[in-house]
Amino acid sequence: MTNIRWLVDLLKDISDVPEYEAKIIAEKQLDNAEIEQILNRRRQGEPLSKILEEKGFYKYIFKTTSDVLDPRADSEILVESVSEFVPDTGGSIKILDIGTGSGCLLISTMMEYQNAVGVGIDKSEMALKIAQENAQAIAKDKNISFIYQDIICDNWAKGLGQFDIIISNPPYIKSIDIDGLDVAVKQYDPMLALDGGEDGLMFYRQLAETLMPITHEKTKIFFEIGQGQEADVTDLMQQNGFSLLATRKDYGNIIRVLVFERG
């Protein structure tokens, strides 16, 4: 059995690992060679979550690999916003997550509802596999399905029906800014999860133009956005028949979530 305190302190010292994640690693029964391997990978900048293939998000532990964006603490604000604007009444709720990745947003949101049906879509087969594993591990009794779909086409939403809640944390980094990202992000998160096109708004533009048919009068739409994108994303949505209901800030006091409805 590993000496946990010693290992937690070492991990925190060399790699700025948060106490919570250091504990996850320390609690694993690793031999010296395995610990050395982890420390070497950390020294090269690989996030601990990718090494361990797990990350705490909201109330759960999610599997994460190089095929999915690491769940980010700031994205928890989106999950909280959904519960705030659509409290569970026990009635049936349909939830769509666009660009589901590890499934962290959809699965965490689903767990807040007694009677929800969830659909997660993504253009990455590998991400869908991880999302499915996470759903199986965390939300076994929930009705969640995952669909392969590229949303950059005219009729991606055809046949999906209408949803009460639509959530999305799409890629939103400007292509030109990708090179300047931290190694931990640009080298270990999939490019497909990051690149939001020339102005970073490609996915919001596409969503704004195509979401209407899968909404009804009371649908609430929750977008995670990048720093400073609120005015542009709101404009795009307004041009397509939606209005801004609320904004929510992240732990760094940056507007991170926009809530829209029809009208």
Ligand X SMILES: C[S@@+](CC[C@H](N)C(=O)[O-])C[C@H]1O[C@@H](n2cnc3c(N)ncnc32)[C@H](O)[C@@H]1O
User: Considering CB under 6 A, how many residues would be counted as binding ligand X?
Assistant: 22
Q: Does 107 bind ligand X (CB under 6 A)?
A: no
HSE of 172 in the Cβ direction (CA atoms, 13 Å)? 19
Question: Quick one: which of 47, 99, 118, 200 contacts ligand X (CB under 6 A)?
Answer: 99
Query: Measured between alpha carbons, how far is 255 from 258 in angstroms, rounded to an integer?
Result: 8
CB-nearer residue toward ligand X: 26 or 113: 113
Q: Does 81 bind ligand X (CB under 6 A)?
A: no
Q: Does 105 bind ligand X (CB under 6 A)?
A: yes
Token couple for 115: 């009677």
State the angle between helix axes of 19-27 and 4-15 in degrees (0 to 180), rounded to the nearest 10: 130
Question: Quick one: which of 15, 169, 215, 219 contacts ligand X (CB under 6 A)?
Answer: 169
Q: Does 171 bind ligand X (CB under 6 A)?
A: yes
CB-nearer residue toward ligand X: 149 or 234: 149
E strand residue ranges, 142-241: 143-148, 165-168, 220-224
Q: Does 122 bind ligand X (CB under 6 A)?
A: yes
Q: Does 258 bind ligand X (CB under 6 A)?
A: no
Sign for the CA dihedral angle at 22, 105, 255, 65 comes to positive
Q: How far is the CB of 199 from ligand X (least distance, A)?
A: 16
Footprint (CB under 6 A) of ligand X, residues 186-245: 192-193
**Part of the chain binding ligand X (CB under 6 A), chosen from 16-24, 26-34, 98-106, 108-116:** 98-106
Footprint (CB under 6 A) of ligand X, residues 144-163: 149-152
Q: How far is the CB of 98 from ligand X (least distance, A)?
A: 7
From the list 235, 215, 216, the residue with the least C-alpha distance to 225 is 235
Residues 83 and 113: beta-carbon distance below 8 Å:
no
Question: Quick one: which of 54, 79, 157, 170 contacts ligand X (CB under 6 A)?
Answer: 170
Q: Does 71 bind ligand X (CB under 6 A)?
A: yes
**Part of the chain binding ligand X (CB under 6 A), chosen from 2-10, 122-130, 134-142, 174-182:** 122-130
**Part of the chain binding ligand X (CB under 6 A), chosen from 7-15, 41-49, 167-175, 177-185:** 167-175
From the list 82, 14, 83, the residue with the least C-alpha distance to 45 is 14
Query: Measured between alpha carbons, how far is 147 from 106 in angstroms, rounded to an integer?
Result: 13
CB-nearer residue toward ligand X: 137 or 152: 152
From the list 113, 157, 149, the residue with the least C-alpha distance to 131 is 149
Residues 6+ apart with CB under 8 A from 146: 100, 103, 119, 120, 121, 122, 128, 131, 132, 135
Alpha carbon of residue 131 to chain centroid: 11
Q: Which residues bind ligand X (CB under 6 A)?
A: 69, 71, 75, 99-102, 104-105, 122-124, 127, 149-152, 169-171, 192-193
